Amino acid sequence: MIQIKNLNVTYEAMGEGYAALENINMELGAGETCAIIGPSGCGKSTLLKVLAGIIREYEGIVEINGQPIMPMKQKIGFIPQNYGLLPWKNVYENIRLSAKIKNIKDRDNSKELDFFVQQLGLAGLEGRYPGELSGGQQQRVALARSFLLKPDLLLMDEPFSALDAMTREEIQNVFLDVWRKYSVSTILVTHYVEEALYLGQKIVILSGIPGTISKIIDNPLFGIENIRNHQDFFQLSLALRKMIKEDWLK
Ligand SMILES: Nc1ncnc2c1ncn2[C@@H]1O[C@H](COP(=O)(O)OP(=O)(O)OP(=O)(O)O)[C@@H](O)[C@H]1O
Cβ-based neighbour number of residue 242 at 10 Å = 10
Q: Where residue 188 falls among pLDDT bands split at 50, 70, 90?
A: very high
Rg of the chain over Cα atoms, rounded to whole angstroms, equals: 18
β-pair partners for 59: 8
Q: What is the CATH number of the domain that holds 22?
A: 3.40.50.300
Ligand 1 and 29: CB distance under 6 A: no
Residue ranges making up the domain that contains 241: 1-70+153-158+185-250
Ligand 1 and 133: CB distance under 6 A: no
- Separation CA 250–CA 232 (nearest Å): 27
Q: Where residue 103 falls among pLDDT bands split at 50, 70, 90?
A: confident
Query: What is the number of alpha carbons within 13 Å of residue 46 lying toward its C-beta?
Result: 23
Q: Report if residue 168 sits inside a domain.
A: no
> What spacing in Å lies between the alpha carbon of 21 and ligand 1's midpoint?
10
At residue 119, φ and ψ (nearest 5 deg) are -60, -35
Q: Report if residue 167 sits inside a domain.
A: no
Examine the fold and report which residue of 107, 133, 151 is the final residue of a domain before the chain moves on.
Answer: 151
Summarize the confidence of residues 130-144 as an average pLDDT.
Answer: 93
Ligand 1 and 244: CB distance under 6 A: no
- Supply the residue whose CA is at minimum distance from atom 17 of ligand 1: 45
Using an 8 Å Cβ cutoff, are 138 and 131 in contact?
no
Task: Say if residue 91 is in the same domain as residue 30.
Answer: no
Residue pLDDT, tens place only, 216-239: 999 999 988 889 999 999 999 999
> What spacing in Å lies between the alpha carbon of 81 and ligand 1's midpoint?
12
Q: Report if residue 240 sits inside a domain.
A: yes
ipTM: 0.98
Q: Report if residue 178 sits inside a domain.
A: no
Q: Report if residue 225 sits inside a domain.
A: yes
- What is the predicted pLDDT for the residue at 106? 66
Q: Report if residue 172 sits inside a domain.
A: no
At residue 242, φ and ψ (nearest 5 deg) are -65, -45
Ligand 1 and 82: CB distance under 6 A: no
Mean pLDDT computed over every residue of the chain: 92
- E strands, the chain, are 2-13, 16-28, 33-37, 59-64, 67-68, 76-79, 153-157, 185-190, 202-207, 212-218
Ligand 1 atom nearest 47 alpha carbon: 18
Cβ-based neighbour number of residue 113 at 10 Å = 19
pTM, 2 dp: 0.94
- For the chain, report the end-to-end CA distance as a whole number of angstroms: 32
> What spacing in Å lies between the alpha carbon of 27 and ligand 1's midpoint?
22
> What spacing in Å lies between the alpha carbon of 38 and ligand 1's midpoint?
12
Q: Report if residue 171 sits inside a domain.
A: no
Task: Say if residue 189 is in the same domain as residue 66.
Answer: yes
Task: Say if residue 79 is in the same domain as residue 66.
Answer: no
Those residues whose C-beta lies under 8 Å from the C-beta of residue 154, and which sit 6 or more positions away, are 76, 77, 146, 184, 185, 186, 187, 188
Ligand 1 and 11: CB distance under 6 A: yes
Based on the structure, what is the number of domains in the chain?
A: 2
Task: Say if residue 38 is in the same domain as residue 63.
Answer: yes
Examine the fold and report which residue of 129, 151, 173 is the final residue of a domain before the chain moves on.
Answer: 151
Task: Say if residue 199 is in the same domain as residue 212.
Answer: yes
- Separation CA 155–CA 215 (nearest Å): 20
Those residues whose C-beta lies under 8 Å from the C-beta of residue 241, and which sit 6 or more positions away, are 193
Using an 8 Å Cβ cutoff, are 188 and 36 in contact?
yes
Ligand 1 and 14: CB distance under 6 A: no
Q: Report if residue 235 sits inside a domain.
A: yes
Which is nearest to 23 in space by CA: 202, 213, 205?
213
For 150: left if phi > 0, alpha if psi spans -120 to 50, otherwise beta; the answer is left
